[in-house]
Amino acid sequence: MKYFQYLFLLLAIWSCSSETKNTIDLSGEWQFKMDSLDVAISEKWYNQEFDESVILPGSMVENDKGMDITLQTKWTGGVRNPEWYKDPNYTPYLDLDAIHFPFWLQPLKKYTGAAWYRKTFTIPEEWNGEPVFLSLERPHWQSAVWVNGSKVGSQNSLGTPHVYNIGEFVRTGENSISICIDNRTDKIDVGENSHSVSDHTQTNWNGIVGKIELEKRNEVYFKQVDVFPDVQGKSIKIKSAVINTTSEEVEITVPVYAQLKNTDVKTGKETFRFTVTPGENILSMTYKLGEDVLLWDEFNPNVYLLSLQLQSKSGTDELTETFGLRDFKVKGTRFAINERPVFLRGTLECAAFPKTGYPPTEPEYWAKIYKAVKGHGLNHVRFHSWCPPEAAFNVADEMGVYLQVECSSWANQSTRLGSGLPIDQYVWDESKQIVKEYGNHPSFVMMTYGNEPGGPEYTKYLTDFVNYWKAEDARRVYTGAAGWPVLDVNQYHNLPQPRIQGWGEELNSLINAEAPKTDYDWGNKLPGDGKPVVSHEIGQWCVYPNFKEIEKYTGVLKAKNFELFRESLNAHHMGELADSFLMASGKLQALCYKADIEAALRTPGFAGFQLLGLYDFPGQGTALVGVLDAFWEEKGYISPEEFSAFCNTTVPLARLEKRIFTEGETMSAKIEVAHFGEAPLTNINPEWTISSKGEVVANGTLGQRNIEIGNAISLGNVVYQFPLENSPRKLTLSVSVGDFANSWDIWVYPENKETKNDQIKVVERLDPSTIQYLQKGGKVLLSLGRGKVSPEMGGKVGVGFSSIFWNTAWTDNQKPHTLGILCNSDHPALEYFPTENYSNWQWQDAMSHADAVQLDSLPVELKPIVRIIDDWVSNRRLALLLEAKVGEGSIFISGVDLLNDLDNRSEACQLKKSIVNYMEGSEFHPAIELSVSQIQSILK
């Protein structure tokens, strides 16, 4: 926080109205006019009054200003399909009088261009001749200021306040101020998808939010104060820029002390003396904090307020700065804070603000975010291609959250970072402004230029960027960019490779192509240069939309995308299943996140991960990847407590070569722990249990020990032979380490030997003899599998075990296209295949050897035993297992291959046994009749 925000902090701490004598609050009603034709300068609007009015702080859309949304609306943000309204998934629901844009949240109004704001104010006599500053906390985004008809200047920072020295332009009495805010990106292209400007996220709004104030300063005043902690010396180095506006040297004294925030604990006062010459002076002070000073970290977020007074013959100038005594640095292949190893468990904050469309400048919202972050076991937030307001840093300081901040840019191929375009200088300027404004905050521990750079010259540019900041300011660590590249100068890397599903892997990823297991990690996916690696944007697992969320959008953004998807679901005769789809797909999503996060925690020497994300990303086609919604609120299928079992300071881990066993087999689980708590654990005796339906069938301990800080710490093995019970069952292996517990589901099946059954004909094709057998009253099990279903009837649906990655609209329709299963777990066809109503690991084999059967052309009354949950964009009625009456006979159709390679597919054997057992019994009497031609239409 800088000099122009000094009063803001005092108001928050002391609420002293007497301190407002040196400020004038400009919030309230302003005159307003849109300059859509760019005529304001030529027509000298800065000398004119306007007929319209708005309330500031606020945005145009909050003031009902702008244009209505149409098909011709020009967005700030890439649209994969500009003619989206011709897509058959959207065309049936197109209403030109009420557009439902499918790719992100839709504002009530839209305007891109210059808008003018005008106000009159009164300068008191005692301000005459003194420095006066105008502070705009968060304009969006380029501002230009005129006072009394004279231009003061222009600024373009997206991440920091715009501050203007207007002292020479004001006079005692009434004055006018005109501010032009231009939110176009044509002059400086930070990247249309950058979260600092994009309609994908916070929207490219126009307006001014936060504090809008005038402040009078003394003739000699603090311009800037930077605080550099020295943990070993229990001191701070204070570097201060002091402005002397007089024409002579001035003697000053600077009393300094620090106070622990929200307490009355103070350090001893020390006074420094200087002589300052006219103009800017750089002063250095080393201030001892005392032996009892407290350090800052995630467990002990001790925040100090540094108070300085600048006393001179012209009066006293006061300043309060936030700081924490901490040392965040690289130590080996990971980070350390105050010499203790750190594992970053992070998520992204992508600037999605569903009620306002712009970032809040008050602390309450940020406290809600960080409470959710910490409640889910995380300790880190990355601000993707944007920098948040002051309040975000203040609350992170107080709650102990590590922040990665970025310079408002996501430069793609068109932006061409390092090619001499205006973006090059902009990033340099923005980085310096960000460090100047927020650099004292202890939570600000990492910085990059931005996200995923593009263009042919970015490597050299980013090398210079990292080298500059490493030499300039060691209070944090630096990497060139989030995502790539790996540079020799990087202090750490943000890389996408260490994750369970990568871009373009589709059904070939580990989670979709390999049998369920937990014995892998990312050791072979690291660059091997010994630098810390924080995995980039892991997860991205989708869940079905929560249509009840629509009613939460009470602000300027509306979930028109959700409304469109709901209409589509209703049109496909499944509206009543919306909540069930949400819950079932949510359970699969949570399972996928658990697998991803545990692999990171198992990786020796790994530095951490960044989820994309803990909450939904509302843009880029609608990416519902969060276990929390866009409001940072729970969706109902996993609690913070459940999530933090596998994502926390301390997490027990099990390395299992497989999760599906046959009776008589022996399981050998290698038990580890990842522990990054405040201190080592002492006298811990880890315990394990194997349970079935809540009943313990085996248990034991692994021996008392001390556990140091780190991961890949072996605790021993759990060895257990599954008895011969001739009973398929789900078991749960649980491990507890002190107060922390984690668990893994496993399945045990009897050895199933193939036996001949004269009652049921099991086939892959419907030949004439099978059709005749069926029509005459026979029972047929039709086993399909991947590549067996016709494209029109589901064969083109990419079925995989995992949830959808990011979303199909923005990944060029990458597979899988589905969100797991929703099944009737009590149906007798599944009696011997223990299951919940959602995808768990025992369904991985089935989903990896299956085609979906699309039912849209079949009777609505046909209800599958096991559904496949389709992408919300298409909402097709998809089945994995279904039954029907054909003539006098009955058919059971399995989209799963139940005939091939069964020696290596115990799950398929057990599923087949369960289905056959059902078909043999008296309950197999399908109610819905299909014709032979309808059945044949399913086959390729």
CB atoms within 10 A of CB 113: 15
- The DSSP secondary-structure symbol of 831 reads T
pLDDT the model gives residue 920: 95
Pairing relationship of beta strands 315-323 and 235-244 according to DSSP bridges = unpaired
Task: Give Cα 137 distance to the centre of its chain.
Answer: 25
Long-range contacts of 326-330 (CB under 8 A, 24+ apart): 326/229, 326/231, 326/295, 326/296, 326/297, 326/442, 327/229, 327/231, 328/402, 328/445, 328/475, 328/476, 328/477, 329/474, 329/477, 330/477, 330/491, 330/492, 330/531, 330/532
pLDDT the model gives residue 2: 46
Residue where the block lists tokens 């803990």: 614
pLDDT tier for residue 269 given thresholds of 50, 70 and 90: very high
pLDDT the model gives residue 155: 98
> Which pTM was predicted?
0.96
Q: Are 938 and 789 within 8 A, CB to CB?
A: yes
Q: Are 448 and 410 within 8 A, CB to CB?
A: no
> How far is 857 from 934, CA to CA, in rounded Å?
9
pLDDT tier for residue 8 given thresholds of 50, 70 and 90: very low
Mean pLDDT of 230-253: 97
* Token code pair at residue 814: 């990458």
* pLDDT of 13 higher than 60: no
Mean pLDDT of 800-812: 97
* pLDDT of 392 higher than 90: yes
pLDDT the model gives residue 64: 98
pLDDT the model gives residue 3: 38
- What single letter denotes the amino acid at residue 818? T
pLDDT tier for residue 14 given thresholds of 50, 70 and 90: very low
> How far is 188 from 423, CA to CA, in rounded Å?
6
Cα Rg of the chain (Å, integer): 32
> How far is 601 from 647, CA to CA, in rounded Å?
9
Which residues touch 609 (CB under 8 Å, ≥6 apart)? 344, 345, 346, 498, 499, 534, 535, 538, 596, 597, 600
* pLDDT of 805 higher than 60: yes
pLDDT the model gives residue 761: 96
Q: Are 665 and 750 within 8 A, CB to CB?
A: no
pLDDT the model gives residue 316: 95
pLDDT the model gives residue 454: 93
pLDDT tier for residue 19 given thresholds of 50, 70 and 90: very low
* Edge-to-edge order in the sheet of strand 150-155: 52-56, 28-35, 114-123, 173-182, 142-147, 150-155
Which residues touch 839 (CB under 8 Å, ≥6 apart)? 584, 587, 588, 591, 801, 820, 821, 847
Residue where the block lists tokens 């990665």: 404
* pLDDT of 100 higher than 80: yes
* Token code pair at residue 67: 């244009």
Measured distance between the N- and C-terminal CA atoms of the chain, rounded to whole angstroms: 67
Q: Are 665 and 721 within 8 A, CB to CB?
A: yes
pLDDT the model gives residue 752: 83
Q: Which tens digit of pLDDT belongs to each residue from 873-903?
A: 999 999 999 999 999 999 999 999 999 999 9
pLDDT the model gives residue 34: 98
pLDDT tier for residue 546 given thresholds of 50, 70 and 90: very high
- Nearest of 348, 352, 349 to residue 620 by alpha carbon: 352
Which residues touch 402 (CB under 8 Å, ≥6 apart)? 298, 328, 342, 344, 346, 379, 380, 381, 396, 443, 445, 446
What number of helices (H) and strands (E) belong to the chain?
13, 48
Mean pLDDT of 226-234: 98
pLDDT tier for residue 413 given thresholds of 50, 70 and 90: confident
Does residue 610 sit in helix, strand or coil?
Answer: strand
Q: What angle do CA 715, 721, 724 make, to 5 degrees?
A: 160
Mean pLDDT of 549-561: 98
Mean pLDDT of 299-313: 97
pLDDT the model gives residue 414: 77
Which residues touch 24 (CB under 8 Å, ≥6 apart)? 121, 122, 123, 213, 214, 215
* pLDDT of 12 higher than 80: no
pLDDT the model gives residue 756: 75
Largest Cα–Cα distance in the chain? 111
* pLDDT of 190 higher than 80: yes
Element spanning 600, H or E: helix 578-602
Q: Which tens digit of pLDDT belongs to each residue from 39-74?
A: 999 999 999 999 999 999 999 999 999 999 999 999
Q: Are 887 and 776 within 8 A, CB to CB?
A: yes
pLDDT the model gives residue 293: 97
pLDDT the model gives residue 4: 39
